[in-house]
Structure 1
Amino acid sequence: MAQRLDKQTFQTVVTHTPLISLDLIVENADGQVLLGQRLNKPAQGYWFVPGGRVLKDETMTHAFSRLTKEELGIELQLSDATLIGPFEHFYNDNFSGDDFSTHYVVLGYRIQLDVLLNNLPKEQHGHYQWFDVTILLNADDVHRHTKLYFLTK
């Protein structure tokens, strides 16, 4: 059974190992991309794609369904998405502060989905917006790790 770690154990893990996560590159019918303004570290304050960590003993299929439910408010299946590849994200800070770095190995998945911004969960992102790709690539407040998903197209 997949489980979340207590804060101290998770700090030890983040200090010493990379994390595995899934990022959701959500595109609407107009080709715009869904970004949320992050509330938490790392990448706090930046516009970023939704996503999250894979938990220990959690299959990729279950992680994808859980993360789409938590991040988008709608449970999707892994078969609803297209893998765009593996990426690495390096941050100088971590979820609890600035005393150690965070390293993610991220699998990026593209999803075609129209969602209403007002219905999206607010735990990780305070605001949401649909972005044209050319605008997000040139915006200073869109995180560089998010931009990489569109430079590899």
Structure 2
Amino acid sequence: MNYIEEELYSRFVELMPITCIDVLIHDDEGRILLVKRNQEPAKDKWWVIGGRLLKDETMLEGAVRKAKEEVGLDVKVEKIIGVYDEFFNTSIQGYPTHTVCIAFLAKADNLLLTDVDYTCYGFKLVSSIDDSYDPYLLRVVKDSGILERK
């Protein structure tokens, strides 16, 4: 996999949309895993696992990698939920951010976290998601159809 030097990536964020993978992870008990972000964009918000797609990486590979890297979970990707544009007023680089996010629904046998790279994490029952959450998160959860499974 190819990683981009920070200075060059900063120029990308300034000038173009960034392709990202988001993963809504659920278990057999109808719970979804949300993490609280420790960096911009969306700092201090409850969010799904996700991040930039790497060159020469398929979207599916990216989804599996992000789950493993960010929370140490092995997941089985079930489907693409949708493709979304997200616009943020800020980023770590200090520029407004435009991301094109491909959101996946994935299942983990258990949601016992072994490794996280966020300031905190938590489980939220799908039915507890309400309008206090970010509109993007609400849209992904709704579009996933996970609520209809309960």
What interval of TM-score do these two structures reach, taking the shorter chain for normalisation? 0.7 to 0.9
Alignment partner, residue 135 of structure 1:
128
1:62-98 CA distances to partner (integer Å, 9 max, x unpaired)?
3233212102313446xx321111111110001223x
1:104-129 CA distances to partner (integer Å, 9 max, x unpaired)?
11111111222214x231x2x21111
Alignment partner, residue 87 of structure 1:
84
Segments ≥4 residues shifted beyond 4 Å:
none
Shift of residue 135, structure 1, vs aligned partner: 2.1
Alignment partner, residue 57 of structure 1:
56
Structure 2 matches for 1:1-153, cutoff 5 A? 2-76=1-75, 80-97=77-94, 100-113=95-108, 114-117=110-113, 119-121=114-116, 123=117, 125-138=118-131, 140=132, 142-152=133-143, 153=145
SS at match of 2:69: helix
Measure the CA separation in 1 of the matches of 2:123 and 2:75. Answer: 20
Measure the CA separation in 2 of the matches of 1:105 and 1:81. Answer: 20
State the TM-score, normalizing by the size of structure 2: 0.85
Q: Percent identity?
A: 26
Shift of residue 136, structure 1, vs aligned partner: 2.1
State the TM-score, normalizing by the size of structure 1: 0.83
Unaligned regions of 5+ residues in structure 1, if any?
A: none
Counterpart residue type for residue 128 of structure 1: Y
1:17-54 CA distances to partner (integer Å, 9 max, x unpaired)?
11111111011222121100100110000000011110
Aligned pairs, how many?
143
Measure the CA separation in 1 of the matches of 2:35 and 2:141. Answer: 16
Measure the CA separation in 2 of the matches of 1:63 and 1:34. Answer: 18
Deviates more, 1:60-69 or 1:101-110: 60-69
Unaligned regions of 5+ residues in structure 2, if any?
A: 146-150
